[in-house]
Amino acid sequence: MAPRRGRARALGVMGVACATAVAVVSVPESALAAPVRYEAENAAVSQGVVESNHAGFSGAGFVNVDNVVGSSVEFTVTAARAGQVKLVFRYANGSVDNRPADVSVNGALAVDERAFAGTGAWTTWVSAENTVALNAGVNKIKVTSTGATGGPNLDYLEVEEAALEQEAEDAVVSQGVVESNWAGFSGRGFVNYDNVVGSSVEYVINAESGGEHDLVFRYANGTTADRPVSVTVDGAGAQVVSFPGTGAWTTWQTRTIKATLHAGANRIKATATTANGGPNADKLTAVLVGPPDDEAPTPPRNLQFVGSTHNSVSLRWEAATDNVGVTGYDVYQHGQLVTSVGNVLEATATGLRPDVEYDWTVFAKDRAGNVSQASNNVPGRTKPAPADTQPPTTPGTLRSTGATSTSVSLAWGASSDNVGVTGYEIHLDGALKQTADGSATSATVAGLTTGQTYRAQVRAKDAAGNLSAFSNEISVRPVAGGGIGVPNPGSVKQVVAGVDVAWGLAFLPDGSALVTERETFNVLRVTEAGAKTTIGKVPGAMGTNGEGGVLGIEVSKNFATDRFVYVYHTYSGGNRLVRAQFDGSQLTGWTTLLDGVPKNRYHNGGRLRFSPDGRYLFVSTGDAQNGNNAQNLNTNAGKILRLNADGSIPSDNPFPGKAIWSYGHRNVQGLDFDSQGRLWASEFGNSQQDEVNLITKGGNYGWEPCEGTIGNCAGTIPPKKTWSTSQASPSGLTIINDHVFVATTVGQRIYRMRIDANGNLVDQQTYFQGTYNRLRTVEVDAEGDIWLTTTTDKDGSAGNDRILHIDVVYEGGASTAETVPRGRLDART
């Protein structure tokens, strides 16, 4: 190893002393299972013959396919379990032309036009490799020629377990450099650790299943000094691994340890523990040892509220069980993680607000990252805050900062309080109109009448409910002005009341809406005039005492001819997508298109949205309260899915044979397309940041360990907008003239943001904060107006929710339908 930056490797007495002070781990290297060979002459051949006239083949011969498009060889392959495998095709191509072929697995395109380049002679045999996913049991792997010259001569297919590995040069390196000056490495190079304590290489291994794995580190160490490192998985379970000398920097060896990985992405960090730094690191390979551990613990039992203070709640429960062993418990408050504990049966949640009733649930987890279903839920109320009778100070001078034809903007000086200002009340004409956060010093009040004068005042409040004196009173008046084409919320009217968590809403061609009730499992037809009719109950639907039930709904773009309606709902086996036909009075012919999406009490996703051309249906899913699911490409949880209208998987999806369009999501509940056909999504955060994302094909949006812009976000796509979880919990999302509207539950407000020329969200406005309680779904109708559904409480007391109609108005006072041709309202009209 060449010295660099003036520093040579530390050798001699210090190196020997450090080596003797650290335990050396010596575990025999594990090998992958031997590949299984399938001779081409034993496969099903279409438009081709078995021959033996060119030497060098194995078995009894090889297959020479005809020189036509569509000639094929289909192998029947048996897999012991579902997962990724490596396909190795041995072939010869004595011509100078590439002879490409499609590779399909069980009828789905897995590799598009796999190249089979010339080999120089028909007696020269080489291998071509691809990694694909197989089902457990029998699989059909078909190689089909795509050119008029047909495919190559095929000798055999070998199927071998795909190694879970990452080259060190592709990992995250801290205090080290990628080099290639010593021969024998794999990939493009190796990592030379700096000679310091703490230099590190962090690999990401995407395990197909949870369970015990052999971690095999390939390295070189041309000195006599041991260079031990501490190995952690997702920051825990440190093991010190010895990396003794290998005799030369060109001599590569392996060291193996055992560690439990969870299904999905695992961050494995190897950190130098001595001033010698680590060895030269070539790559890390992980091999599952023994049976996978995909069995989740049982739910914790008998969760009980023990007691509280003004800012904490104490809970206890009975133990969950697991096939291997429970390692800890997560404590949630209505879908948000509050605290985690080890394998103990009690916890205290802190940092809470005084005199508030919270809804508590506990989940068990095991070493492989499997997470149980929810315990029973219990209410637990914090005690009132210590006596506080001192009100906040009066807000500073109230002033008007702008107006549109339907709104006025206000600003004021911040109040102060002996404990803290928690919010502001905004009054118009002596009545409470809306609220603002305690940190706010401005607000926009929408839904007003053009030209009418209003008297405005503001006052502050604290956690004890003390109210300040009112600010000065000013007169404000909505007036036309500003840019053309900006959709502003105007007057609000109630369409219908007495609905039960109206979750999904989609419009029929006649302008009426189909609405799902999450808790009753009913599908309603609602007209703007206020007529409400039940047209069906979703078969097999069930709730989760949380966010599960009947969720998203979408109407076919070809409804006039096919009459199809799509619904996403929870059932006994998870969440699923179903389709029915609407004959004008009822839904019939229910058919399951996709099922088995993991469920839990919370984080079930559920929004549906057709692409602008109507060809593809996008489906949002939640992580089922197991963050590991979001990075695991072997599950549909924590994803945005893309399907054909018949439920089949499009051949051009980013992960062959999978419905996954993007991943790394926690709980997406809003989807819509802008005028350029780009997909946007709103997503619930965990405890720090909610977000809106611009979705790209195959994109990784970071969860977990990245929440919004917080955490380990390297290599992931950052959100376009974030809010604190107390200000949002974004559910529905719709786009009007490239302005994104987001309805929020905890935030009890609508956000509006403009998509600028660079694809960023700017000019945020906040509407209706605290006016209509929790807001669930926001959709734009054919006239360009908004339908908004409310969720008055968290879990859906029967019949206390509403559907509202918001007239959308442009500057100058005209409605959208009067100023903009309907076909330009957004990408969906």
Q: Which residues are designated catalytic?
A: 603
Separation of alpha carbons 664 and 703, rounded Å: 5
What b/e readout covers 135-156, taking b as 16+ CB neighbours within 10 angstroms?
A: eeeebebbbbbbeebbbbbbbb
Determine the residue type at 181.
N
Separation of alpha carbons 422 and 424, rounded Å: 7
Burial class of residue 502 (count of CB atoms within 10 Å of its CB; 0-12, 13-18, 19+):
buried
Residue 45 main-chain phi, psi, to 5 deg: -110, 130
Separation of alpha carbons 290 and 578, rounded Å: 37
What is each CA distance from 410 to 170, 338, 404, 768, in whole angstroms? Answer: 52, 35, 12, 14
- Return the closest-CA partner of residue 486 out of 691, 763, 744, 680: 763
Separation of alpha carbons 419 and 731, rounded Å: 32
Q: Are 403 and 454 in contact (CB under 8 A)?
A: no
Which SS3 state, helix, strand or coil, does residue 585 take? coil
Paired strand residues for 326? 366
Per residue, what are the HEC states of 337-400?
Answer: EEEEECCCCEEEEECCCCCCEEEEEEEEEECCCCECCCCCCEEEECCCCCCCCCCCCCCCCCEE
Which SS3 state, helix, strand or coil, does residue 636 take? coil
Separation of alpha carbons 778 and 741, rounded Å: 7
Paired strand residues for 642? 618
Burial class of residue 359 (count of CB atoms within 10 Å of its CB; 0-12, 13-18, 19+):
middle
Sheet holding 488-499, edge to edge: 488-499, 801-809, 786-790, 775-780
Per-residue DSSP letter, 69: T
With a CB cutoff of 8 Å and minimum separation 6, the contacts of 616 are: 610, 642, 643, 644, 645, 650
Question: Hey, what are 713's tokens?
Answer: 């976000």
Separation of alpha carbons 602 and 335, rounded Å: 6
What b/e readout covers 56-73, taking b as 16+ CB neighbours within 10 angstroms?
A: ebeeebbbbbbeeeebbb
R_g of the chain, CA atoms, integer Å: 31
With a CB cutoff of 8 Å and minimum separation 6, the contacts of 807 are: 489, 490, 491, 492, 785, 815
**DSSP output for 304-349:** EEEEE-SSEEEEEEEPP--SS-EEEEEEEETTEEEEEESS-SEEEE
What is each CA distance from 563 to 388, 556, 560, 583, 749, in whole angstroms? Answer: 61, 7, 6, 7, 35
Paired strand residues for 79? 137
Helix (H) or strand (E) holding 16: helix 13-21
- Count of beta carbons in the 10 Å neighbourhood of residue 527: 15
Separation of alpha carbons 338 and 351, rounded Å: 9
Separation of alpha carbons 108 and 122, rounded Å: 30
